[in-house]
Structure 1
Amino acid sequence: MKQVQQSYRHGTLEVAEVPVPMPGDGEVLVRSTVSLISAGTERQLMQLAKSSLVAKAAARPDLVRRVIRTARREGVMETARKVLARLDTPIPLGYSLVGEVVAVGRRVEGLAPGDRVACAGAGLANHAEYNCVPKNLVVRVPDRVADEDASFVTLGAIALQGVRLAVPTLGEWVVVMGLGLIGLVTVQILKAAGCRVIGLDPNAARAALARDLGADVAVTDGLERAVAAATGGFGADAVIVTASTPSSAPVNLAAEVSRLKGRIVVVGMVGLSIDREPFYRRELELKLSMSYGPGRGDPAYEAGGHDYPQAYVRWTEQRNMAAFLGLVEEGRVTPAALVTHRFPIAGAEAAYALLDGDEPYLAILITYPDAGAAAPIRRDLALRPKPAGERLAVAFVGLGNYARSVLLPKVKADPGVDLAAVVTRTGLAAGHAAAGLGFRHAATDAEAAFGADIDVVFVATRHDSHADLAARALAAGKHVFCEKPLALDHAGLDRVAAAAAATPALLAIGFNRRFAPLMAEVKASLSGRPGPKVMLYRVNAGKLPADSWIGREEGGGRVLGEVCHFVDTLTFLAGSLPVEVQAVAATGVRDAVSVLLRFADGSTGTIVYSPVGDASAPKEYLEVMADGVVARLDDFTRLTLHVDGRTRTVKGRQDKGQAGLVAAFLKAVRTGGPAPIPFDEIEAVSRATIAIEEALRHG
């Protein structure tokens, strides 16, 4: 299928050929008929993509702060690899469309193939022939609403939410500052609510269009005079700022034209350096609108499909979308009056060229072939032929930041590997990975990784799918490298264990620390020492970003996703399997846990994992005591060994063993040797980690 993509690193835009996505649980696969280019929002995104790295950093200081924290914790080189991998990932454009339901995932009710729907969501309702959209961002289109009108659903919801926050009442004077698409829709919604409207835009044509659409007054300048004349000097009851400018002038002008105790709502992206005096003197109320409405940016609502009870949250973003379409159906809002250009998806590059040109434009629509001429649903695209010679055919299922920046380079370093296929959730990511990273096939269906021509499968998806994918790959006779954790519960682990027992194929898991060179030195120092070992592993993990998927259901949390690493390391050093777990969590501090492990040989291990602490301190500290030995490892860069009265220090570049693990796995596959980590250890570590989670929940 065709999809518009843009390089965030270089700013180049193209219509790419990518595989059709697979709908997940709670998602709807929609064949697009019309999508809307939001000129203001998408033009800003394009300009940011084309800007220098310095300009990108200035535009997103929040991300810069996150990068700095990561660099302090993980090192400059590792952070640079992650940042460059993220910049190299293309971004989808678009966030408002109408189309026909092709398929629905599990947990989707009330929608069926053939339904006509409108969809919203940046990165979801894209300019693409097919899109997978979460159910809470999809609404049915009334029969009397044309496709082109329905394609405005996202802008309509944004405008409607701004109006709701202004709380207009019948007969009030409301100013709309900025008469672009959202501003002009806002004018119509306010008129439908019985308000009297004053519009402002420096573009005379847009001011005239606002009057045609119902504005009582629309001016290009002199707003204070216009408001005073219309309201008899009383001032505007409410002002909705829909302009887009880095200047703070619109907000401060809004204060000047407001009445005593007036209301100001900011919908557009404007500066917010406020002149205190007019706000104080008039005791004004200032609100910022949350885009489409309640639910926006909430992963539980948007991705998880958990709706808010209507009695408590009357107008969610989905209900705003439906309400907007209702206004269109009644003829109170006429989006068609705003359309100036139409382009087929194949000519989308010309549509975006308008945004940087001199030709006047307003609403630009992207159109798609009808059902009979639509591209077939292909979820596996072959891009290049198989190379000559005997090589291990490797498939990646999932290619997130870690897989792209850490695992894949280690795999590519092996000259005997053929990158056969990459499978990702979105066709855009799969197509880019295949084209730019050397894979022969791009796919969105994991079955493409289990075909007869694949030897090895790397599972690098989000954690909740690891067990299913690993078990399916093993059942298909593939050697499997699964990023940790192997499973989030005992049932998933049982399934993988059964699949592993039924095949000669090898299974490896991303417990890489036991393959670190300095960890091998620690292990060697313990060789031949009688009696149990006493071990302490302290992890200065840092705070998890509030929006991280690791903390959600799909990630399973940091205990299952990260603490498993340290359980494995202590198991490796003990040379014995864990048999008992105790765990407590700090009161009121999420993910701050202390874990005590007892091993079959009598050894003990303590893990102190904390998200609180200072990032300037080393992330990981390990201390092991055995008969005549004390070993201290600081962040995989400095090892101090006290052995039989002598002290030795070993320093080195930080190496946590990723390269060693991948190399050992590929060698074992090639030679038929044993797996790098015996399965009984993988299973014991996985069950012990699940037991930590259970101990924290149940005491």
Structure 2
Amino acid sequence: MLKVGLLGAGRIAGVHATAITSHPGSSLVAVSDINTAAAQKIAAQYGAEVRDTDNILQDRTIDAVLIATSTDTHSDLIERATAAGKAVLCEKPVDLSLARARACQEAVASTGCPVMIGFNRRFDPNFSALKKAVHAGEIGKPELLSITSFDPAPPPVSYIKVSGGLFRDMMIHDFDMANFIMGTAPATVTAVGSSIVDPEIGGAGDVDTAVVTLSYADGRIAVIKNSRRAVYGYDQRVELLGSDGLLQAQNMLENTVVKSTTQGVTGAKPTYFFLERYMPAYAAEWAAFVEAVDGAKPLPVTLDDGVAALAMAEAATLSVRTGAPVSIASLIG
């Protein structure tokens, strides 16, 4: 039985607590958060104790920690947890700073402890099936990838100010999805972005609408589209054109009922947000982590993957600022 400490007690921590306690091979032992009331709520709901972070990290009976704290604490906690001999599953991104994330990468390498970054979308049944079809060669060589990721509404500007921006906070999932599907990082990143959904987001120094083009060394291309506003729901689609065909992963809908009348054909909207869309993915992600820690399978998402996605986010941020393509090699060598 994998004994787990949960660092953080916000909304996403609650999702992870459900996954941990639902898995037959893991148990939630302790929860910590600077908001004691939030930690007490999760602990009471799942039969865990409220402790401070130091206590959790120093407890040798706790095998692993799940880090769901604010992004600016991720690298420090990853380093402290692995130095204490614990396996780690950390929410994305690794850090707000690529340089700090790379330093974390170096520090963790010497510990030998497994670190998995929480790119849950890899474990979505639809995206996973698409990846398996690509790997099986069902559409030949992948040539043109299109990823659409639109949120139903923007988050509060107070969140935007500490999030690291759209590329590090939102599109980083899509950068990792592109790497997952294409099998490698791109050579260059070209980005355009603007703030047309909420002027206050622009005032905070961020964009809320963006398109990024990823160019690969072998000529392949990927296009990622993000928006903070899609009034019809949570729009999450992937399309991949290959030399021998096309693969598509469509939206999850509120229901599958289609009405056909003389007035036209109508169906349901996409599910409203990530909690509805990706709950099965979070459960599958945790199951994969438990298997890896137990030694049954290798880690499916590594710290290196997290650093690669962050480098792409950094490149996109620079590209918006300069109006020019940015080489990934110029950032990480």
**TM > 0.5 fold call:** yes
Deviation for aligned residue 1:491: 2.1
Q: RCO (CA 8 Å, sep 6+): is it higher in 1 or 2?
A: 2
2:241 is equivalent to residue 634 of structure 1: no
Could you tell me how far apart the structure 2 residues matched to 1:436 and 1:676 are? 29
Could you tell me how far apart the structure 2 residues matched to 1:402 and 1:477 are? 24
Could you tell me how far apart the structure 1 residues matched to 2:42 and 2:277 are? 28
Number of residue pairs matched by the alignment: 290
Secondary structure, aligned partner of 2:148: strand
Percent sequence identity over matched residues?
Answer: 30
Q: TM-score, normalised by structure 1?
A: 0.39
Amino acid at match of 1:508: M
Match of residue 595 from structure 1:
212
Amino acid at match of 2:96: L
Say which is worse superposed, 571-580 or 654-663, in terms of deviation.
654-663
Match of residue 448 from structure 1:
55
Q: What are the Cα deviations for residues 295-335 of structure 1, in whole angstroms up to 9, with x where unaligned?
A: xxxxxxxxxxxxxxxxxxxxxxxxxxxxxxxxxxxxxxxxx
Deviation for aligned residue 1:594: 0.6
Amino acid at match of 1:626: G
Amino acid at match of 2:293: V
Amino acid at match of 2:210: V
Match of residue 572 from structure 1:
180
Match of residue 692 from structure 1:
316
**CA 1:429–1:502: 2 relative to 1, 3 Å:** same
Could you tell me how far apart the structure 2 residues matched to 1:600 and 1:637 are? 36
Deviation for aligned residue 1:519: 1.3
Deviation for aligned residue 1:545: 3.5
2:285 is equivalent to residue 657 of structure 1: no
Q: What are the Cα deviations for residues 146-200 of structure 1, in whole angstroms up to 9, with x where unaligned?
A: xxxxxxxxxxxxxxxxxxxxxxxxxxxxxxxxxxxxxxxxxxxxxxxxxxxxxxx
- Verify the 8 A CA contact 2:98 2:307 in the aligned structure 1: no
Q: TM-score, normalised by structure 2?
A: 0.80
Amino acid at match of 2:298: P
- Counterpart of 2:161 (choices 546, 549, 552) is 552
Match of residue 438 from structure 1:
47
Match of residue 78 from structure 2:
470
Gaps of 5+ in 2: 198-206, 255-275, 324-333
- Verify the 8 A CA contact 1:594 1:609 in the aligned structure 2: yes
Match of residue 488 from structure 1:
96
Match of residue 682 from structure 1:
306
Amino acid at match of 1:450: L
**CA 1:524–1:450: 2 relative to 1, 3 Å:** same
Deviation for aligned residue 1:679: 4.0
Task: Give 1:50-449 correspondences, 5 Å limit.
Answer: 391-404=1-14, 406-439=15-48, 441-444=49-52, 446-449=53-56
**CA 1:414–1:588: 2 relative to 1, 3 Å:** closer
Could you tell me how far apart the structure 2 residues matched to 1:579 and 1:500 are? 26
Secondary structure, aligned partner of 1:674: coil
Q: What are the Cα deviations for residues 379-430 of structure 1, in whole angstroms up to 9, with x where unaligned?
A: xxxxxxxxxxxx21100110111220x2111111122323221110122223
RMSD of equivalent CA atoms? 2.4
2:249 is equivalent to residue 625 of structure 1: no
Q: What are the Cα deviations for residues 231-284 of structure 1, in whole angstroms up to 9, with x where unaligned?
A: xxxxxxxxxxxxxxxxxxxxxxxxxxxxxxxxxxxxxxxxxxxxxxxxxxxxxx
**CA 1:532–1:672: 2 relative to 1, 3 Å:** closer
- Verify the 8 A CA contact 2:20 2:27 in the aligned structure 1: no
Deviation for aligned residue 1:636: 4.2
Amino acid at match of 2:151: A
Gaps of 5+ in 1: 1-390, 639-652
Match of residue 512 from structure 1:
120
